[in-house]
Chain A
Amino acid sequence: QLQLQESGPGLVKPSETLSLTCTVSGGSISSSSYYWGWIRQPPGKGLEWIGSIYYSGSTYYNPSLKSRVTISVDTSKNQFSLKLSSVTAADTAVYYCARLVVRYFDLWGRGTLVTVSS
């Protein structure tokens, strides 16, 4: 059964770059049927899509975050990654990685809390 697991620092300083990795196990990230995505959820608030990537490296991003986001894929490690630059306290959130089937997310990781604080 396919599983996704987020990993990365739980604390990032303001103005620095947040970096997270999602490891896919139990299946190949190179499947032509899926995209892969990042979603975040600030404490006590709703879900916000950040961006998505295909195994070929094709990406698309939330326009409101596009200037600060880079998503990349490493098919040899079955991983994809998120970088969010110039973070502020408003970027404090639980970050989820998920599998995107055509139009929707069908499998999610458990999420990882990233706090932006000095």
Chain B
Amino acid sequence: SYELTQPPSVSVSPGQTARITCSGDALPKKYAYWYQQKSGQAPVLVIYEDSKRPSGIPERFSGSSSGTMATLTISGAQVEDEADYYCYSTDSSGNPLFGGGTKLTVL
């Protein structure tokens, strides 16, 4: 079955650039989306359609996609960006699919 693969964890110091990758065979044909989930809270959309940022999301969050890999970049990561990040896309049938999640540590 189709999967979206993410690294389990990424760690950066405050002010550094964090990059979280998401690999999937269908990504050349499907948009990637990214959700941020802080502890005990519901997920929040931070990037949609590969690289668009919803209103209210800080400019330090950006997204890109090339071939079978999508990337979420947090430029100048801050302590409050510490969270789990999930990539999301759809499979060939249009069914929603989440990646396994990446725990971002900023310290």
* Contact stretch, chosen from B14-22, B61-69, B75-83, B91-99: B91-99
Cβ contact within 8 Å between A106 and B96: no
Task: With a 10 A CB-CB cut-off, give which of A37, A100, A103 has the most chain B CB atoms.
Answer: A103
State how many residues of chain A have any CB contact under 8 Å with chain B: 20
A110 to B44, CA, bound (A): 11
CB closest residue in chain B, given A111: B42
Cβ contact within 8 Å between A96 and B42: yes
Contact of B95 (CB < 8 Å), options: A39, A63, A96, A108: A63
Name the interface residues of A60-118: CB closer than 8 Å to any CB of B.
60, 62-63, 96, 100, 103-106, 108-111
Cβ contact within 8 Å between A47 and B43: yes
Mostly helix, strand, loop or mixed at chain A's interface? strand
Contact of B101 (CB < 8 Å), options: A46, A62, A103, A110: A46
Cβ contact within 8 Å between A46 and B100: yes
Cβ contact within 8 Å between B98 and A104: no
Q: List the A side residues contacting B43 at CB < 8 Å.
A: 47, 96, 105, 108
A106 to B48, CA, bound (A): 9
Q: List the B side residues contacting A105 at CB < 8 Å.
A: 43, 45, 88, 96
CB closest residue in chain A, given B97: A49
A21 at the binding interface (Cβ < 8 Å):
no
Residues on B lying within 8 angstroms of A by beta carbon are 31, 33, 35, 41-45, 48, 54, 86, 88, 90, 94-101
Show 22 residue pairs from A and B whose CB-CB distance is below 8 angstroms, ordered by the A residue: A37-B96, A39-B98, A46-B86, A46-B101, A47-B86, A47-B98, A49-B97, A52-B96, A60-B94, A62-B95, A63-B95, A96-B43, A103-B31, A103-B33, A103-B94, A104-B31, A104-B33, A104-B48, A104-B88, A105-B45, A106-B54, A110-B42
